[in-house]
């Protein structure tokens, strides 16, 4: 009897897929553009089988594929689909197709849940809402914007700056010309940090000083998804209404704590306003590229992964504030904070069921018997997964930029 099959995935892969579908049914996804589900089904070789392990990632990059192969994972659960449109060929010339071919060769399957996770109750949108409505120990930290340079940080308009040394030298002027007013002096040092990213694995909320979803509020779904049994209340985006107005500075601190303490993230406020002056009663929340969900939402603050220049400008012109995190930084923390434990718990039950089902239904070789006897279950988050964008910080500078006004 042959021990190699080309028409079946591994039993453990089947358990992973059924677990993901229990947690995040594909019917919740936005099929108008999305491509969720099993994207790569690798054939099972019981002689050269993978570990009973799952690697969670937002993006399936070459670095993540290398990681999965080295770890001998059985399944990669990639939040973003690596296949969005129909393929006319699979070749090694394309980096993404190369990753898929290499994973298939190693017997590693790929599953993508994407917008099904966004829409599910207790999914990604609710996780972001929990962060915004969390509470830090009293008194909550107060965030201040940088103040414009003091007198010693200014240079006269009639001085030139030596770009090499960073020093100012006077220019020649007629003796009777009035002295021009001082203008802000920007630091001339050219020392920047290496790109920084949020922590790979923000620690569980229970181990941080952020108490999620503890500030009194109501929340509703912005774009409901109907007709999925057992998932009432599902839908894209959340609209949060606080019982009492919240300082924007407090929300900035909560978000920073909740998504892995990034060194910084973009914040837009209406011109003529100060960050410290902004009071927030309503928040529109959407992970990733939020415009399609948040457009038309009347909220004091829009909190999402990214908006285009013109989308953010239109919001601030209407008096709204905007916080973006870079696209995948609004999603990555969910893997370690929520999905890892949820999938582990469901998968342990599903793997027990599949093992019994396979043992009873098939005549097994010794290699297959070894596979279904293995009761190990491991779900881990990728160490290589990160957003393409990091933040570089100007160091040794008295003034890093112009404060928002």
Burial of 246 (0-12, 13-18, 19+ CB in 10 A): buried
109: Cα within 13 Å, side-chain hemisphere: 27
Tell me if the bond preceding 139 is cis, omega within 30° of 0: yes
pLDDT in tens, 250-265: 999 999 989 887 888 9
Quote the pLDDT of residue 171. Answer: 45
Q: DSSP characters for 294-336?
A: HTT---SEEEEEE--HHHHHHHHHTT-EEEE--GGGGTHHHII
Residue listed under structure tokens 């021009």: 180
* CA dihedral over 67, 70, 73, 75, signed as positive or negative: positive
Under a CB-based contact definition with an 8 Å cutoff, are residues 146 and 401 in contact? Answer: yes
Q: Which helix (H) or strand (E) holds 110?
A: strand 109-112
**What percent of the chain clears pLDDT 90, i.e. is strictly above it?**
62
Which residues, including other chains, have CB under 8 Å from residue 327's CB and lie 6 or more apart? 288, 289, 305, 306, 387
For residue 228, pLDDT beyond 60: yes
For residue 365, pLDDT beyond 80: no
Q: pLDDT-derived band of residue 34, with 50, 70 and 90 as boundaries?
A: very high
Which residues, including other chains, have CB under 8 Å from residue 386's CB and lie 6 or more apart? 197, 200, 328, 332
Quote the pLDDT of residue 200. Answer: 54
Quote the pLDDT of residue 204. Answer: 47
Residue listed under structure tokens 């040394």: 165
Quote the pLDDT of residue 151. Answer: 40
The CA distances from residue 338 to 111, 128, 220, 306, 333, in Å, are: 18, 11, 21, 22, 8
For residue 336, pLDDT beyond 70: yes
Quote the pLDDT of residue 111. Answer: 98
Quote the pLDDT of residue 377. Answer: 96
Q: pLDDT-derived band of residue 176, with 50, 70 and 90 as boundaries?
A: low
Under a CB-based contact definition with an 8 Å cutoff, are residues 109 and 76 in contact? Answer: yes
For the record, the structure tokens of 18 come out as 């059924």
Q: Of 19, 34, 2, give the one whose Cα is nearest residue 289.
A: 34
CA atoms of 52 and 43, how far apart (whole Å): 15
Q: Of 71, 83, 144, give the one whose Cα is nearest residue 108.
A: 71
Kindly state the average pLDDT of the residues 330-349: 96
Residue listed under structure tokens 């927030």: 280
Quote the pLDDT of residue 182. Answer: 55
For residue 168, pLDDT beyond 60: no
Please state which of the ranges 22-36, 136-150, 213-227, 273-287 shows the lowest mean pLDDT.
136-150
Quote the pLDDT of residue 48. Answer: 79
Quote the pLDDT of residue 385. Answer: 95
For residue 154, pLDDT beyond 70: no
400: Cα within 13 Å, side-chain hemisphere: 12
Kindly state the average pLDDT of the residues 221-228: 96
Quote the pLDDT of residue 178. Answer: 52
What is the total residue count of the chain? 405
Kindly state the average pLDDT of the residues 342-348: 98
């Amino acid at each position: 009897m042959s021990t190699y099959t080309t028409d079946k995935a591994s039993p453990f892969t089947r358990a992973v897929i059924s677990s993901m579908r229990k947690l995040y049914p594909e019917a919740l996804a936005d099929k108008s553009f999305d491509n969720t589900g099993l994207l790569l089904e690798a054939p099972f070789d019981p002689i050269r089988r993978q570990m009973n392990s799952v690697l969670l990632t937002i993006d399936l990059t070459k670095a993540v594929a290398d990681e999965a192969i080295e770890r001998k994972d059985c399944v990669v659960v990639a939040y973003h689909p690596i296949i969005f449109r129909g393929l006319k060929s699979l070749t090694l010339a394309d980096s993404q197709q190369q990753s898929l071919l290499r994973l298939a060769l190693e017997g590693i399957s790929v599953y993508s849940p994407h917008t099904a996770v966004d829409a599910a109750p207790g999914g990604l949108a609710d996780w972001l809402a929990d962060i915004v409505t969390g509470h830090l120990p009293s008194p909550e930290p107060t965030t201040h914007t940088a103040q414009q340079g003091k007198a010693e940080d200014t240079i006269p308009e009639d001085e030139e700056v030596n770009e090499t040394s960073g020093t100012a030298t006077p220019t020649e002027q007629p003796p009777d010309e009035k002295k021009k007013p001082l203008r802000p002096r920007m630091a001339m040092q050219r020392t920047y940090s290496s790109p920084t990213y949020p922590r790979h694995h923000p620690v569980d909320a229970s181990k941080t000083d952020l108490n999620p979803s503890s500030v009194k509020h109501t929340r509703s779904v912005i774009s409901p998804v109907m007709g999925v049994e057992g998932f009432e209340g599902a839908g894209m985006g959340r609209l949060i209404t606080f019982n009492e107005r919240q300082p924007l500075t407090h929300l900035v601190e909560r978000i920073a704590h909740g998504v892995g303490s990034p060194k910084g993230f973009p914040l837009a406020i209406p011109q003529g306003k100060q960050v410290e002056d902004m009071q927030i009663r309503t928040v529109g929340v959407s992970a990733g590229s939020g415009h399609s969900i948040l457009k038309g939402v009347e909220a004091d603050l829009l909190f999402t992964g990214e908006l285009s220049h013109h989308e953010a400008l239109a919001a601030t012109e209407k008096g709204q504030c905007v916080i973006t995190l870079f696209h995948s930084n609004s999603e990555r923390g969910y893997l370690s904070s929520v999905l890892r434990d949820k999938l582990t718990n469901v998968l342990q039950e599903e793997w027990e069921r599949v093992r019994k089902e396979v043992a009873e239904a098939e005549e097994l070789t010794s290699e297959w018997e070894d596979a279904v006897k293995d009761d190990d279950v491991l779900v881990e988050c990728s160490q290589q997964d990160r957003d393409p964008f990091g933040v570089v910080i100007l160091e040794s500078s008295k003034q890093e930029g112009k404060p928002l006004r």
